[in-house]
Amino acid sequence: MSRKRIDIEGIIETLASVRRQIPQLANAPAPPSAKSHVDETAARGSFLPGGHEATEAFEMETLAEVLESFAGELSGSIEAAEAKAMADAMKIYYAAEELSRDPEHANLIPYVEQMRAIYRRDFGMDIPPRK
């Protein structure tokens, strides 16, 4: 009974397509392509000990490396986006906090208090003073 061959190249091409659709990754240099390694190994398959089985093992290892690389890039991108969102939120907080001191903008006081409470809840401490 023959096992169905996994389309490693198709998976790698799909990952590359997904990567191009993520703004933070689309502009970053792509990691070296694993497709060329898969093609090269497949072409040399008859010269490798074990032939087809060795080629298949190498292809699966290559796919695992590509998936790990993509996961790392995605994690880094998410962390960078979270850091930017936090920096932007802090700018908004500091601006609202400063404006709320002016009686003309007293309507901002409940929002500033709410932001403080949420920060305290999420981080277990008060918002640090503006640097």
* Res 71 pLDDT > 70: yes
Q: What is the mean pLDDT of the chain?
A: 85
Instruction: Report which of 80, 66, 79 is spatially closest to residue 18, judged by C-alpha positions.
Output: 66
Average pLDDT of the residues in 77-106: 96
Instruction: Report which of 58, 29, 26, 28 is spatially closest to residue 42, judged by C-alpha positions.
Output: 58
Q: What is the pLDDT of residue 1?
A: 52
Average pLDDT of the residues in 39-53: 57
CB atoms within 10 A of CB 49: 6
CB 38 within 8 A of CB 8: yes
Q: What is the pLDDT of residue 2?
A: 62
Average pLDDT of the residues in 8-21: 91
Confidence at 41, pLDDT banded by 50, 70, 90: very low
CB 95 within 8 A of CB 41: no
Q: What is the pLDDT of residue 72?
A: 93
* Res 109 pLDDT > 80: yes
Average pLDDT of the residues in 74-88: 93
As a whole-number percent, the residues of the chain with pLDDT over 70 amount to 82
Q: What is the pLDDT of residue 68?
A: 94
Domain boundaries along the sequence of the chain: 8-123
